[in-house]
Amino acid sequence: LETQKSIVIVGGMACGPKTAARARRRDPNARITIVEQGETVSEGSCGLPYYVGGQIESENALLIRTPKFFKESSNIDVMGGTRAVSIHRDAHEVEVVTLATGATSTIPYDKLVIATGATAVAPASLQGRGLSGVFTLTKIADANLILSAMSARDARKAVIVGAGLIGMEGAEAFRSRGLDVSVVEALEHVLPSLLDADMSVQVQKELTDKGVHLFLGQRVLRLEGDEKGQVARVVTEKETLEADLVLLALGFRPNAELARDAGLAIGASGGIAVDGSLRTSDPDIYAGGDCVENTHRVTGAKILTPMGSTANKHGRVIGSNITGGRDTFPGVLGTTVVKVFDLGVGRVGLSADEAREAGFEPLVATVDGLDRAGYYPGARKLTVKMVADRTSGKVLGGQILGWGGVDKRTDVLATVITLDGTLDDLADLDLAYSPPFSGAMDVLHDAANVLRGKRERAPEKRS
């Protein structure tokens, strides 16, 4: 009789459940267990800002799958409220603690998957961090705390620290609830890891048009509270801002401690190091999602890209490989799309600075076009900033802003870059056209042609 294989997955949000589902499809007999420290699994974290903002009315809409569903549909066991505390690699066991009782036990594994995600950065050294009314946003529970604080305090003023993705989505959420919103960012422009300064200007205008106060180029020094221990002010290098609520949106740090403590290799980025099959430095342990570092497809650099899109793809690859498959994950391009109020922002591949650092000779063009035919009602500006390599003509990256069709252009660029496409390939792409969707010459074609022109004018290199 064939012995039943035991697959243990630590982390039950995006990568973990995807891994479990894929593994079950390929191996009907394996014992599959998901260990999750929270009480819920498979939360749609990406929808949280829209739940805080009221566009999504019930948290139930964000509970994509329940433990009962996993058991009944796929015979996958979910151990909720259970934290994995250590991995005994020689014995092939994971030690877990039941949080409600403190009881510890061990679970044997043949293959172990670490899908522990990332934690929102909220430095303990930030004075006032522990005041009530100071939040991060990662889980439904965080969103519920924010919503209760909003009504309990009759909150009027929210301050968001950090102008990255979550900061931007948080600003929209709080404005939708009628709050007065300020965003503080240490760097000189918003969305600093996505956009160049020139492209961020349009985003900043959208934010201020929608009533958001921006305080850029200034660090938060401390949070101050009132006599009840409730946050009351955010003190920056230049301002003191009143606050009933503070959202810390300072990025994410990979949860790599479990792996580190078990002696697994950790990359310089702080994420768990994995190979192309998403295997860690231990052949029986795989890792995926926000807790690992990814390889940039263009530069080969190891980077952190905590995205749900990536976590799900990781899960699929791992689910195959722990059940005898040989799938690989080829890496990321940092492809991102985000809505800042009514403005869409897309980003893929390299900026010109990043391209230069990676040894390319970047050519850059910023082209304004329209998201649909100019004569079609509602046509709005669409701006594409594209980067290509002068020598090879390869498309390297793009930043896209507009009120419609940003996702399409971002994804077309992602496809071209993934397939090693050149400006000629892009200019000749047979893109769909109809007046409500684009111009007869899409703005991507225009940008590719401008860059082709720049290449032709490039001085010839002489040896």
Ligand X SMILES: Cc1cc2nc3c(=O)[nH]c(=O)nc-3n(C[C@H](O)[C@H](O)[C@H](O)COP(=O)(O)OP(=O)(O)OC[C@H]3O[C@@H](n4cnc5c(N)ncnc54)[C@H](O)[C@@H]3O)c2cc1C
C-alpha dihedral sign at 407, 408, 410, 414? positive
Shortest separation between residue 212's beta carbon and ligand X, angstroms: 17
- Asked whether 210 and 53 are in contact (CB, 8 A), the reply is no
Provide the pairing of β-strand 302-303 with 294-295: antiparallel
Class of residue 443 by CB neighbours under 10 A (exposed 0-12, middle 13-18, buried 19+): buried
Q: Which is nearer to ligand X, 81 or 325 (CB)?
A: 81
Two structure tokens written together for 120? 């929102």
Backbone φ, ψ for residue 203 (5° rounding): -70, -40
* DSSP β-bridge partners for residue 394: 422
Q: Which is nearer to ligand X, 242 or 261 (CB)?
A: 261
Task: Catalogue the E-assigned strands of 281-374.
Answer: 285-287, 294-295, 302-303, 336-340, 343-349, 362-370
Shortest separation between residue 87's beta carbon and ligand X, angstroms: 10
The Cα-based distances of 72 to 17, 59, 67, 76, 78 in angstroms read 14, 22, 9, 8, 11
What residues line the site for ligand X (CB under 6 A)? Answer: 10-16, 35-38, 45-46, 48-49, 83-84, 115-118, 137-138, 166, 255, 258, 289-290, 306-309, 311
Name the nearest CA neighbour of 142 among 156, 122, 124: 122
Q: What is the DSSP letter of 87?
A: E
Active site residue 15: no
Q: Which is nearer to ligand X, 165 or 416 (CB)?
A: 165
What is the C-alpha separation between 188 and 169, in angstroms, rounded?
19
For residue 8, the SS3 value is strand
- Asked whether 385 and 196 are in contact (CB, 8 A), the reply is yes
Shortest separation between residue 318's beta carbon and ligand X, angstroms: 11
Two structure tokens written together for 151? 């009504």
What is the C-alpha separation between 76 and 24, in angstroms, rounded?
8
Q: Which is nearer to ligand X, 49 or 398 (CB)?
A: 49
Catalytic residue among 26, 31, 46, 381: 46
Q: Looking at this protein, which amino acid is placed at residue 71?
A: K
Shortest separation between residue 115's beta carbon and ligand X, angstroms: 5
Q: Which is nearer to ligand X, 271 or 398 (CB)?
A: 271
Distance of CA 151 to the CA centre of its chain: 29
Q: Which is nearer to ligand X, 118 or 322 (CB)?
A: 118
Shortest separation between residue 82's beta carbon and ligand X, angstroms: 6
Q: Which is nearer to ligand X, 137 or 367 (CB)?
A: 137
Shortest separation between residue 376's beta carbon and ligand X, angstroms: 29
What is the C-alpha separation between 402 and 202, in angstroms, rounded?
9
What is the C-alpha separation between 434 and 361, in angstroms, rounded?
36
Shortest separation between residue 84's beta carbon and ligand X, angstroms: 4
Beta-carbon count within 10 A of 255 CB: 20
Shortest separation between residue 345's beta carbon and ligand X, angstroms: 11
Backbone φ, ψ for residue 184 (5° rounding): -110, 130
Q: Which is nearer to ligand X, 307 or 401 (CB)?
A: 307
- Give the active site residues: 46
